[in-house]
Amino acid sequence: MADIATVFGGWTPALMDGFGLAELMDWRERARVRSPYSNGNDNDDG
């Protein structure tokens, strides 16, 4: 959830608590792609 909140700003855990798992994973992927720190690999090492 932290990566989603960091990239999209202002998204609180309370807001994301209503997301289903698939929706949360979808937003997490969108955050990974949009992140300026994303280097295109799929691991969490950056």
Number of domains observed in the structure of the chain? 1
Q: What pLDDT, on the 0 to 100 scale, is given for residue 46?
A: 47
Query: Is residue 44, in this structure, part of any structural domain at all?
Result: no
Question: CB–CB of 31/6 below 8 Å?
Answer: yes
Low-confidence ranges of the chain (pLDDT < 70): 38-46
Question: CB–CB of 37/46 below 8 Å?
Answer: yes
Query: Is residue 12, in this structure, part of any structural domain at all?
Result: yes
Range of the domain at 30: 2-34
pLDDT digits (tens, 9 = 90+) for 3-12: 898 898 888 8
Q: What pLDDT, on the 0 to 100 scale, is given for residue 45?
A: 52
